[in-house]
Structure formats: C-alpha cells, structure tokens
Amino acid sequence: MEKNKIKAVIFDLDGVITDSARYHYLAWKKLADKLDIPFDEVYNEKLKGVSRMESLELILKNGNASGNYTESQKIAMAEKKNDYYKELIKQITPADILPGIQEFLEELKAEGIHTALASVSKNAPFILGQLGLEQYFDYIADAAKIPNAKPFPDIFLAGMEAFGLTPEECVGIEDARTGIEAIHRAGMKAVGVGTPSEMEEADLLLDTSELKLETIKEKFLLD
Ligand code: B16
Ligand code: MG
C-alpha cells in the first residue's frame, strides 16, 4: 500500500509551544479573587484549550455564581481578565519556548513541510512575536474568525485548507483533551504533549523534546 505523505503539521500554542497556561491561571485567579469566587490550579486544568468566555462561564459555575451577573457584566469581566493576561505575557521571551519545539520547527522547514498555528487564543500572534517564532509559521488561524471553538474541528480544518491539503496529509499537536478531540473530528492523527491523564485519546503521546519527523512518520505510517 502506498503511504500518504505528511505535508503539514498544525500546532496548538498554549501548552505546546510555550506554557502560557500559567499566565491564564494567574489572570483568572486575580479576577476570581476580586469577585470572591473560589478558583485553583486543579480547576484551571479544565480551562485548557477552552475559549475565554467559556472559561469564565466554567469558573462562575464552579463558584455557584453563574446567575449573579448580566451578559454585559460577564463581557466586562472577561475583558478585565484579558487585561491582566496581556500585562503578564509581556514577560514572555524566547527562553520560554518549550524544549525541542524550535528544533522541530527547523526540521519541518528544512523538509518543506507546512506549519500552521491553530490556537483559540486571540493573543496567539502576540505570543509568537514574543517568542521570536513568527518566521516558522506559514499560516496562523485567526481565532476571531473561527465559528466553532475546540472540540469542533474548525480551527484545524482552517489550517489544512490554507494549504489545500486533505486530513490524511496533516498531523495535529495538542496538549488539551478538547484539542485532541478537535484534531480527530478534523480527520487527522493527533500527537498529544499534555498531562498524560488528559491525553488518553491521543494517537501518540510524546514530550515536546521528543517531537521528531521520523517518530511521527513511523507511528502514523506516513512518508
Ligand atoms: P485568549 P490554545 C487557549 O489557547 C488556552 O488554552 C485557553 O486557556 C484560553 O482560554 C484560550 O486559548 C483563549 O485565549 O483569552 O487569549 O483569547 O491552547 O488554543 O493555544
Ligand atoms: Mg493548548
């Protein structure tokens, strides 16, 4: 049987390229403390890969406070969180790139394999800039224009369509359960680099430092 060629790798950002989840946590924690709503790092795990407004809803629900605010108050609260977050991510530098990621991006570039960023974060382009990695991405999905957030496949499909490819020619990399589901719904193979207990559905579980083209090709029988 002839093997499919791997032609694109589609990356999530938070938790895959850099650990910005820590800053999301600190920003939500500051908001939750101001509102006197309980919130901790364990619950924060549930927010990985989840959009800003959905994250707020989950935090309010967890604190039994969902019914206490109007829609416009919630929008203002989410904006406040984002202001805190934007202040925090100014600290990000190339030293915050997760192990092995830059080397893997260089390998993909050298092999002529397309790369796309499929992050639901509206701050993703800013973070890529802070990391100095913009030149490694051929396509950055605009989170604001993607109709359905993860676990819907839309953002991974946007990456694939940008290169005119089929799902069999693409591989997605994620650290969140919702993200792995989104990759699968897009019809692609999923590499998981997140907390192992959250990665049961991943087709291949690796540490970011183990991301190598050969490993992926062998596991997924790609050329
Ligand atoms: P923002 P990813 C996601 O990024 C984060 O994992 C999630 O915690 C966050 O709420 C979401 O982006 C939205 O981010 O508020 O910056 O637009 O994992 O898809 O790269
Ligand atoms: Mg993520």
> For 81-133, how does the pLDDT look when each residue is reduced to its tens digit (9 = 90+)?
999 999 999 999 999 999 999 999 999 999 999 999 999 999 999 999 999 99
Confidence at residue 49, expressed as pLDDT on a 0 to 100 scale:
85
Output the average pLDDT for the chain.
Answer: 95
Residue of 51, 81, 121 best suited for mutating to test ligand 1, as the one with most atoms within 8 Å of CB? 121
For the entire predicted model, the pTM comes to 0.92
User: Rounded to the nearest whole angstrom, what is the distance from the C-alpha of residue 1 to the centroid of ligand 2?
Assistant: 35
Whether 178 lines ligand 1, by a CB cut-off of 6 Å, is no
Confidence at residue 203, expressed as pLDDT on a 0 to 100 scale:
98
Q: Is residue 169's pLDDT more than 80? A: yes
Whether 48 lines ligand 1, by a CB cut-off of 6 Å, is yes
Q: How far apart are CA 20 and CA 7, in angstroms?
A: 28
Band (4; pLDDT cuts 50, 70, 90):
confident
Confidence at residue 151, expressed as pLDDT on a 0 to 100 scale:
94
User: Which ligand has the minimum distance to the alpha carbon of residue 141?
Assistant: 1
Band (212; pLDDT cuts 50, 70, 90):
very high
Indicate if the alpha-carbon torsion angle 128, 129, 131, 134 is positive or negative. positive
pLDDT digits (tens, 9 = 90+) for 25-68: 999 999 999 999 999 999 998 898 899 999 999 999 999 999 99
Report the catalytic residues. Answer: 12, 14
Band (1; pLDDT cuts 50, 70, 90):
low
User: Which ligand has the minimum distance to the alpha carbon of residue 199?
Assistant: 2
Length of the chain as a residue count: 223
Residue 17 backbone phi and psi in degrees, to 5: -95, -35
